[in-house]
Structures are given as C-alpha cells and as structure tokens.
Amino acid sequence: MKFLTALMMVLIAATTLFAHSGAVPDTGKEAYLRYCVGCHGTKGDGKGKGATLLIIKPRDFTSGTFKFKSTPLGSMPTDGDLMQTITNGLPGSAMPAYPLMPEQERKAVIVYLKTFSERWAKEVPQPAVVVPPLPDFINSPDSVTKGKDVYANNGCAVCHGDEGDGKGVTAASLEDSWGSPVKPRNFKRGVYRAGGSPVDLFRTISTGVEGAPMPSFGHLSEDDRWNLISYLLSLKGGRK
C-alpha cells in the first residue's frame, strides 16, 4: 500500500511538473498550472490526469465547497483556511504539503482558485468558530472516561465503530456530496486531515466536515467536546 501511494504521488507530480517546466511562476494561474493541475484539472473540477489514480478524489473547486475549514457548515472558508491546507497538506490523502512554496505564490493560488466558482463573488465567509483555551484537564484519565461517555451517547460509534476503528455499521455505505465513498476516521491511527492537535480536533468537531457525512457537534458543551477529544486521542496506537 505504501508503495502504491508513493507511486501515485510520483505520477501526479510528473504530470504537473513535466508539463509545466520553466521559470518560477509569478501569477496564481501559473502557480496553479505548476503545482495543482495534475490532480485538480485545468478547469478546477477535480478531474486532472492524476485524479483517476486516487481513491480520495481531488477537490472540485467549481462547487465552492471545502471540507476542512474553521467556518460553520454552509459557509465559504477563510483565506487562512485555504492557506493552512496548502501549507500543511491533508495527511492521509494525496494532497501534499507546500511549506516551501513562497508565501506570495500560495496567496496567488488562493486568488486564482476562487475564479472557478461564482460563490466567491456572491458570498462572504462567516466568522470562524471560536476555539477556547486548552483546558488543564485535557488528556487526564477522568477526561478520557467522560469523553468515552460522550462518544457513546452521541452516536459516534454508528460511523466510527464501538472501538473507534472506523468500522461502524454505516461505514461501508457512506458517500460525500460528490458521490465518492467516504471512510470514517480510524481514531486508532491518529491521522487527521485537518490536523491532530486538540485545538484542530475541537475545530473539526465544532464545524463538522462540509460535503461529508460528518456533522457539526457544536451543540455539545465545550467541556464535552474537550473530553471527547481526550478520549479520541487516547485511542491512538491501539489495535488497527
């Protein structure tokens, strides 16, 4: 599996880089054609040549829907959200990190990808979900115990499984808004698309994942969300 993943990444990189060699790009479009077109396509519709190799399909920018962001469900992401994804990538997927791409190029790519959807001209991102300070009790045994109850009482096991291994009763039938299969997160692996720190997890639990079956749990109290995070983090390294 690791070999196949590496092979796909090489092929995708080759599709992009070999087709657009030359000087360092100085506009968003040129940067997009150099780094992004191999997966996301010339039209930004997620149908690049590399997309056929991927189980987790590239983002379709024409829909204006982004899974990982700090804003509530239904809202466009902030530029900061897009910058975070470009800079850090999406662990566990084919979306690589681009921390070495000059910041100005990353900003230019963000401006360019907004041209693929008219939503950007019509909508303004809502304010980001506020993440409170990290509590002292995070990851404590008592917090883990309470978090296990939050997990059980809020239906998390239906998708993620009783053991948090991503093998819930609905796991095999889940799809995203684009009709692609979606696997619930396996918490025992400890790999999270939008970041695995307690702050990152609080944000994802609060906002949900746009276009995916993962809903927002922002209705839970802050303590319940932190305790849930303690429990999820305690599962890392368990049986796969």
Whether residue 16 is predicted with pLDDT greater than 80 in this model: the reply is no
Residues 206-223: what's their mean pLDDT? 97
Token pair listed for 50 = 């590399």
pLDDT at residue 208, as a whole number:
97
User: Residues 198, 201, 207, CA angle at the centre, nearest 5°?
Assistant: 140
pLDDT tens readout for residues 116-144: 999 999 999 999 999 999 999 999 999 99
Residue-range definition of the domain harbouring residue 206: 141-234
Say how far apart CA 146 and CA 233 lie, in whole Å. 13
Q: Which of 92, 122, 152 is at the close of a domain?
A: 122
CATH code, 44: 1.10.760
pLDDT at residue 26, as a whole number:
56
Number of domains in the chain: 2
pLDDT tens readout for residues 83-120: 999 999 999 999 999 999 999 999 999 999 999 999 99
Q: Is 132 inside a domain boundary?
A: no
> Helix, strand, or coil here: 175?
strand
Residue type, 147: G
CB-count exposure of residue 79 (10 Å: 0-12, 13-18, 19+) = middle
Token pair listed for 14 = 């080759």
Shared-domain flag, residues 181 and 208:
yes
Shared-domain flag, residues 105 and 209:
no
Q: Which of 95, 122, 149 is at the close of a domain?
A: 122
Provide the whole-model pTM.
0.86
C-alpha pair distances (Å), 60 with each of 1, 67, 85: 25, 11, 15
